[in-house]
Every structure is written in C-alpha cells, then in structure tokens.
Amino acid sequence: MVEDGYISFKDMCARFDVTPRTLRYYEYIELLHPKKVGRTRYYGPREVARMKLILRGRRFGFSLEDIRQWLMIYGQKGTVEQYRVWIELADRQYDLLAQQQAELEATMRELHDLRDGTQKLIDEMTGSEAPST
C-alpha cells in the first residue's frame, strides 16, 4: 500500500494529458522518479510538481535536457542557484522566441504582400475590382 497523496501511473497520465509512453520516457531520462511497489509506479507531490515544471518548460520551448539539468540543480546546489540558472535559461529562451517572432512577422508580411500582388494580377487579367484585404 502506498501513502496518501500518491497517484497511480494511469492517474498521472490523465491529470497531465500525457501518454503512458511519455511518462515512461520522462522516467527513463530521469526527469521523474516514481515510487515503485512491485511493477506499479506511484507519483507523489514532488513528482506532480516536477511534471508541472516539465510541461511548463516544454511549453516555453526548453529542451528536455535543459529541464533535466535545471531540475538536478535543486538537489545539488539548492533553490537560489536553481533560480539563478532559471533566469539565465529564461533570458536565453526569451531572446530566441523574440527572434522567431520577428522572423514569423516578416514571413507573414511577405505572404500577405504576395497574396495581394496575386489578387492584383487576377484583377488586371479579368478586368474586375475585387475588394482587397
């Protein structure tokens, strides 16, 4: 029997909307360390909190290796160092996202201009004046 506050493998998958394969992979790469009773895995509050951090990190675009190393810092060097590293990672990722955003905006402008130019060609070829966007 496992203590209160622990959830099953199936419940962990459901709570975080991840596949069993994902959960097993996170364990394999040492992001999660469930309690095992026989072949059954149970996840306590620490693992639930780690899973929230993992998914948030993934949403922000961090690699699983970045997340794994960042989570390891807590056990090795404590909270303050983990927070310092987090700020460095966040700054680096923010810069990358800002660059991607600028590239995406430029691509969208180019696509819009090409679309408008194509519509103008159609209008000239057909002699019609379609409303432009």
With a pLDDT cut of 90, the percent of the chain lying above it is 77
Average pLDDT, the chain: 91
Q: How confident is the model at residue 3 (pLDDT cuts 50, 70, 90)?
A: low
25, 59, 93 — which closes off a domain? 59
Distance CA 66, CA 54 (A): 10
Query: pTM of the predicted model, to two decimals?
Result: 0.75
> What is the domain count for the chain?
2
Q: DSSP E strands: which ranges in the chain? A: 7-8, 35-37, 40-43
Identify the domain containing residue 40 by its residue range: 1-59
Let me know: does 23 contact 13? Beta carbons within 8 Å: yes
Distance CA 80, CA 96 (A): 25
Distance CA 101, CA 109 (A): 12
Shared domain for 2 and 44, answered yes or no, is: yes
Q: Give the model confidence (pLDDT) of 40-96 as tens digits.
A: 999 999 999 999 999 999 999 999 999 998 888 877 888 888 899 999 999 999 999
Residue 63 three-state SS: coil
